[in-house]
Homo-oligomer: A and B are copies of this chain.
């Protein structure tokens, strides 16, 4: 076994078996009386999750942002964030002040706050954020629900965070994409507005690249997708910077964009457009995940940003 590489999704399947089933959504959903409570938790580590150019304030911001993005994907309103922080010996007061200011600033930017948590000492900085939200029961957004004929949409633009990661790895620190990578902006207002529109059939956040998001949505909803290559809202300046092919690769496989990817009933697309700025990038089909250009369809590889366990 120890030679085998167990991907994050394989591991989640196995764990789900042991625990008797866990949901596939961005958050777990709990009945809280009139509304649903949605909750998500994410563990981030210094070496694997924070590029070394990140300031402690940015580490704090990101730790909260990635969790709020999951709240956004459920169409929920944030109700608070908890932070468990394992602080390394070299964390001095400046570092701690900046880190915790980053937590607080991100939460308050999105109209919520840090409610409490746990601190501990640890050899490597480790931060687990837990975000909570509430959503009306008839508005909760799930990954399941896309139906053949629905339109496939995304908020914002794609590939920018991936381009930032590439620029950082190549030492091009003046790249305009680096900020996109270091200070992600979850789509909370858009998630709420789309949930309220009543025309969205399935939604998730696009934190691991479009290809993996579509694979997840397709699996849960038991459908397929066709993406129109020329419709993809590639981040402005990205094709010029790295070439069109590389730009498209980043859109498909690079993590960190934190846009919302969702499906809309075809007749409701104008209603969805009134809720927020969006781009229709394709449609829901019976099966398979395809990319189309000039009427020609090719299968899309289901690859993306995934942590590997067991190496």
A170 lies within 8 A of chain B by Cβ: no
Q: Which of A122-130, A182-190, A208-216 contacts B (4 or more CB under 8 A)?
A: A122-130
A242 lies within 8 A of chain B by Cβ: no
A99 shortest CB reach to chain B, Å = 9
Within 8 A of B (CB), among A50-93: 79-80, 82-87, 89-93
Q: Are A28 and B115 in contact (CB under 8 A)?
A: yes
Which range contains the number of A residues in contact with the other chain? 35 or more
Q: Which of A14-22, A197-205, A261-269 contacts B (4 or more CB under 8 A)?
A: A14-22
Within 8 A of B (CB), among A75-124: 79-80, 82-87, 89-94, 96-97, 100-101, 103-104, 113-124
Q: Are A309 and B121 in contact (CB under 8 A)?
A: yes
Q: Are A43 and B104 in contact (CB under 8 A)?
A: no
Q: Are B119 and A8 in contact (CB under 8 A)?
A: yes
What residues on B are CB-neighbors of A39 within 8 Å? 39, 80, 82, 115, 130, 132
What residues on B are CB-neighbors of A126 within 8 Å? 43, 86, 122, 126
Given contacts A11-B87, A123-B123, 15 further A-B contacts (CB under 8 A): A15-B100, A18-B101, A18-B104, A20-B104, A22-B115, A28-B80, A32-B134, A33-B34, A34-B34, A39-B130, A41-B82, A41-B118, A43-B118, A87-B309, A123-B124
| 12 residue pairs A–B, Cβ–Cβ below 8 Å | A14-B93, A32-B32, A32-B37, A39-B82, A39-B115, A43-B84, A48-B121, A84-B128, A91-B309, A91-B310, A118-B128, A120-B307
